[in-house]
Amino acid sequence: MANLVLKQFATPLLNPFNLELAPGECVTLSGPSGSGKSRLLRAIADLDPHDGEAWCGDTAQHSITAPAWRRRVGLLPAESAWWSDRVSDHFPKLDGEILERLDLPAETGDWQVNRLSSGERQRLALLRLLSNQPDVLLLDEPTANLDKANIDRAESIIAQWRKAHQTAVLWVTHDPEQQHRVGTSSLVIKHRQLVKSWS
């Protein structure tokens, strides 16, 4: 478990700001579309160039390789990417027991990716990300394309993981109800500034 600290962090769409996420904390982030929420998450994952410093616990972003940083600070995009045909090709190892805990058949690994429903896809994307054991989770509208039942499932997987591993979570969502359901506090982007909405 570790916290996430951003110091004088800035992206092309956001003025410099400081932010700290404590271990186990879940902060939601909202703002008009195009205000730079995704860009911010990508910058924290070191996927886009940015200014300022990011720390995961005692580890500065620039002090470790980018792949090592991205394993510790895991980003889940709104739409997951699958580069191979078979589900199991995307996992270092995939055992049936874990799959069943996610309401997926044990043989899901042998399935073709294009056979998956959007709900299954997103649950598997979550599982794939969590198998890196990240200290921090950056979620970019993880339930945007899901129906009610699948939203509940995804939320509960994330909540269980966060509590069990004291993971810090930054969660982009437009839905005010979801913000209150999953978040411990809330941030909003207004006029290039990151401001506190409630806590």
74 binds another protein, rule: CB under 8 A:
yes
* Closest separation in Å from C-beta 26 to another protein: 20
* Closest separation in Å from C-beta 181 to another protein: 25
Question: Where does residue 172 fall: left (phi above 0), alpha (psi -120 to 50 degrees), or beta otherwise?
Answer: beta
Residue count, binding to another protein (CB under 8 A)? 22
Binding mask 131-150 for another protein (x = CB under 8 A): -x------------------
CB 142 within 8 A of CB 130: no
User: From start to end of 77-179, where are the E strands?
Assistant: 136-140, 168-172
Q: How far apart are CA 17 and CA 91, in angstroms?
A: 36
* Closest separation in Å from C-beta 128 to another protein: 7
30 binds another protein, rule: CB under 8 A:
no
123 binds another protein, rule: CB under 8 A:
no
* Closest separation in Å from C-beta 46 to another protein: 6
Q: How far apart are CA 91 and CA 127, in angstroms?
A: 9
CB 4 within 8 A of CB 54: yes
121 binds another protein, rule: CB under 8 A:
no
Please count the CA atoms within 13 angstroms of the CA of 31 that sit on its side-chain side: 24
130 binds another protein, rule: CB under 8 A:
no
Q: Which amino acid is at 35?
A: S
Residues 35-54 that bind another protein (CB under 8 A): 45-49
Residues 76-115 that bind another protein (CB under 8 A): 77, 79-83
Q: How far apart are CA 50 and CA 64, in angstroms?
A: 16
Which residues are at the interface with another protein (CB under 8 A)? 45-49, 65-68, 70-71, 74-75, 77, 79-83, 128-129, 132
